[in-house]
């Protein structure tokens, strides 16, 4: 294993900033200090640049069979794209995909898919769809000991991924007993279905109508219900892809009560808006995801949630489908829903641009400082999902997942040059300041400027430990 010395950069963690050299050897950070006198195989000069922990994206869907198709980004293309954007770890999903697939089988199935392709490190949230048997509940309870310390449940997509409240509550009780965290897709799937059916009966299924089938309150109600169930079970809860001020209000109220409640939002809810696709015809399919990308006025509420700390994490929900069915290796993509939003696979790309966008919108535009940027994109994801302090920090002994971030490099986001295997970019033509100049994963330089240097399949599965969450009260229900 080679050694790397990063000289003269501004080391930035979630809580401090100072100029120092950082020496990486054998995959870990071994020395940090001024003018280190060490012999290194490679020297990276970082004067005038930030030296930050590798980004951690805790919400991706790579190579996933979903919405009657498969996501365009495989484990290979998705993790290469992530690396170019400064992300060195993803936590994706292992879903119980079919009747008879147990929680442990779901994890093993996804590990087999990822292991030969991933170029950065990865873990899985167990996405439970069936906890009806004692056997499955026992397997779920065993998972945290095996390094799977988060369970995902969906309150939407009836007939496929949606689970009932009993399943959610059971998972929360297991999480409470095993110090895991439950993550929720919080939308009321029954209400969405009913509104959608009524739109269909009235012939109102044009692409942009997707948003109208997902009003703010379906998210607010489910968020409230999920938080209340977590309080009754005594578990920590994390709301994924929070998109609406109504849901944000629920998170704020729970936090104010001292409950262990956390939430992420995603760049698409901060940088894109309903007005961008309202009159776009099939082009609107680019924006279709759930919860939907909402009115522009909603963006300010989410930025406020980031500023107050109600939103703790930025993740992407990277779930890509192409706008053209032009790759033989992929089943039909967005075009399968042309003219009818009910058949458009839900999801948008983002893994490559998360840090570009959040640096631009946060640091460059003056909403927060560089330490908060690190906290949102690297440290809090690591803490909440049991990767900290192995990842998410520049500290001696931590994995040498390090990004040298050049604040002065200008970058234009565009599909023609991005590395995601999707034929559009939601932020096409947007100019940002700041991008990674060097990306290092466990001590190996995997991206240098425009060049990818990593080996396909070098990424490692990470057994995660206990999430750092607030002490939460014991279950408020008797057992």
Nearer to Zn ion, 24 or 72 (CB): 72
Tell me which residue has its CB nearest to Zn ion.
185
Q: Give the Cα separation of 288 and 265 in Å (integer).
A: 16
- 347 lines the binding site for ligand URP (CB under 6 A): yes
Instruction: State the nearest-atom distance from the C-beta of 185 to Zn ion, in Å.
Output: 3
Q: Mask 402-441, x = binds ligand URP (CB under 6 A)?
A: ----------------------------------------
Q: Which is nearer to Zn ion, 185 or 210 (CB)?
A: 185
Contact 185, 315 (CB under 8 A): no
Closest to ligand URP by CB, 3 or 316: 316
Distance (Å, whole) CA 147 – CA 159: 30
19 beta partners: 10
Tell me: does residue 289 bind ligand URP (CB under 6 A). yes
Q: Backbone dihedral region of 235: left (phi > 0), alpha (psi from -120 to 50 degrees) or beta? A: beta
Shortest distance (Å) from residue 248 CB to ligand URP: 17
Query: Among 125, 185, 294, 372, which residue sits at the site for ligand URP (rule: CB under 6 A)?
Result: 185
Binding-site member from 3, 60, 290, 312 for ligand URP (CB under 6 A): 290
Q: Name the DSSP class of 348.
A: B
DSSP track, 238-271: EE-S---HHHHHHHHHHHHTT--EEEEE-HHHHH
Which residues in this chain contact Zn ion in the complex, by CB under 5 A?
Answer: 185, 317
- In angstroms, the CA 135 to CA 376 distance is 37
| Closest-CA residue to 119 (of 379, 445, 448) | 445
Helices 296-308 and 245-256, axial angle in degrees (round to 10):
20
For residue 293, the minimal CB distance to ligand URP (Å) is 10
Site residue total, ligand URP (CB under 6 A): 9
Task: Tell which one of 143, 248, 284, 319 touches ligand URP (CB under 6 A).
Answer: 319
To Zn ion, the closest distance from the beta carbon of 55 in angstroms equals: 17
Q: Which residues pair with 126 in a beta bridge?
A: 94, 151
Name the minimum Å distance from CB 64 to ligand URP: 8
Q: Applying CB under 6 A, which of residues 79, 88, 346, 438 lies at the interface with ligand URP?
A: 346
- Closer to ligand URP by Cβ: residue 241 or 294: 241
Kind of pairing between the strands at 87-95 and 69-70: unpaired
Q: How far apart are CA 184 and CA 233, in angstroms?
A: 14
Which positions lie near ligand URP, rule CB under 6 A?
A: 61, 185, 241, 289-290, 317, 319, 346-347
């Amino acid at each position: 294993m080679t050694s790397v010395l990063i000289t003269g950069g501004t080391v930035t963690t979630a809580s401090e900033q100072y100029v120092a050299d950082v020496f990486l050897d054998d995959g870990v950070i071994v020395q940090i200090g001024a003018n280190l006198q060490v012999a290194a195989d490679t020297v990276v000069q970082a004067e005038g640049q930030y030296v930050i922990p590798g980004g951690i994206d805790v919400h991706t869907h790579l190579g996933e069979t979903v919405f009657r198709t498969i996501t365009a980004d495989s484990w290979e293309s998705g993790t290469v794209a992530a690396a170019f954007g400064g992300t060195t770890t993803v936590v994706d999903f292992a879903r119980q995909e079919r009747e008879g697939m147990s929680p442990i089988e779901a994890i093993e199935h996804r590990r087999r898919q990822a292991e030969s392709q991933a170029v950065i490190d990865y873990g899985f949230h167990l996405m439970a769809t069936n906890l009806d048997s004692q056997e499955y509940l026992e397997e779920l309870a065993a998972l945290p000991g095996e390094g799977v310390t988060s369970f995902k449940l969906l309150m939407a997509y009836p007939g496929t991924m949606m689970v009932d409240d009993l399943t959610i509550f059971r998972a929360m009780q297991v999480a409470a007993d095993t110090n895991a965290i439950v993550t929720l897709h919080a939308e009321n799937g029954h209400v969405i279905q009913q509104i959608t059916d009524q739109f269909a009966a009235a012939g109102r299924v044009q692409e942009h109508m997707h948003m109208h089938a997902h009003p703010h309150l379906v998210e607010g109600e489910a968020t409230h219900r999920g938080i209340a169930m977590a309080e009754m079970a005594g578990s920590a809860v994390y709301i994924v892809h929070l998109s609406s001020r109504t849901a944000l209000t629920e998170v704020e109220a729970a936090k104010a009560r001292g409950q262990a409640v956390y939430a992420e939002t995603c760049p698409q809810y901060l940088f894109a808006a309903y007005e961008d696709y309202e009159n776009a015809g099939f082009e609107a399919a680019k924006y279709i995801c759930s919860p939907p990308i909402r009115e522009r006025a909603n963006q300010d509420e989410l930025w406020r949630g980031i500023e107050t700390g109600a939103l703790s994490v930025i993740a992407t929900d990277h779930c890509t489908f192409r706008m053209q069915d032009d790759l033989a290796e992929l089943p039909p993509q967005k075009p399968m829903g042309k003219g009818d939003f009910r058949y458009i696979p839900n999801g948008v790309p983002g893994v490559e641009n998360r840090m570009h966008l959040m640096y631009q919108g946060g640091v460059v535009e003056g909403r927060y400082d560089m330490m908060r940027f690190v906290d949102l994109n690297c440290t809090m994801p690591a803490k909440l999902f049991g990767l900290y302090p192995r990842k998410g920090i520049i500290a001696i002994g931590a994995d040498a997942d390090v990004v040298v971030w050049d604040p002065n490099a200008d970058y234009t986001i565009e599909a023609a040059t991005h590395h995601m295997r999707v034929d559009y970019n939601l932020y096409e033509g947007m100019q940002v300041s700041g991008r990674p100049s060097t990306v290092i994963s466990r001590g190996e330089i995997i991206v240098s400027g425009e060049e990818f240097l990593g080996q396909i399949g070098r990424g490692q599965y990470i057994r995660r430990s206990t999430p750092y969450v607030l002490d939460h009260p014991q279950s408020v229900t008797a057992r």
